[in-house]
Amino acid sequence: MTRPVAGIVEVRQSPLAMLGMTAISIVLTAVSVAVLVLLHDDPNTTSKYFLEFAAHAGIALFSVSTVLILWRLFTVRGPVVTVTAEGIRDIRVAAEFIPWRAITDISTWQSRGQKLIILAVDPVVESRLTLTRMARWSRGPNRLLGIDGLCIAAVGLDTSLDELLRLCMAAMQNRGNDGRLCAGAACSPQ
């Protein structure tokens, strides 16, 4: 994460974290293939059909995630998340900045070690955003999980979710007050 310069904080992708996620995805794909091969050799498995389905699903899911992670690793240049005194942009969520005045709440959601920042955005403003395909596709399922808002994760970034959350909370509290983006004791004039 870059230090605030002229009221802007840029969070970049961490190549090391992305390579780690790639390795995990490859291992999980290999495990799914191994399960399928072992099932093929053992016709007497009692829950064979469920395990075959799970293995096929694992191969599909983890191989696609491997490709997506590698694609992001090699194609994303520049900041992934940008925080300014006026708003926040996560290129994994929307093409444009989401103004702080349109964000009604910032919260977190956590399940099984996965933690997200949830931005509750005014529906009128959200309808005007150019959401990414993933953000659009995940809105409905996320609502079923009780996550009603746009999600920002720190996975694959060069900062922690807690640090990003502190920065967002500080920017939200200072939204438009004096044109400065403050995070803790460090404030940078715009």
The structural domains of the chain, with segments of one domain joined by +, span 15-75, 79-183
pLDDT at position 186: 41
Question: Using alpha carbons only, what angle is made at residue 21 by residues 140 and 59, rounded to the nearest 5 degrees?
Answer: 70
Considering only CA atoms, give the Rg of the chain.
20
pLDDT at position 76: 81
Residue 188 has which token pair?
């940078």
Q: Average pLDDT across each block of 10 residues of the chain; the chain has 190 residues. List them in order.
A: 66 89 94 86 69 90 92 86 92 94 93 90 94 91 89 91 92 65 42
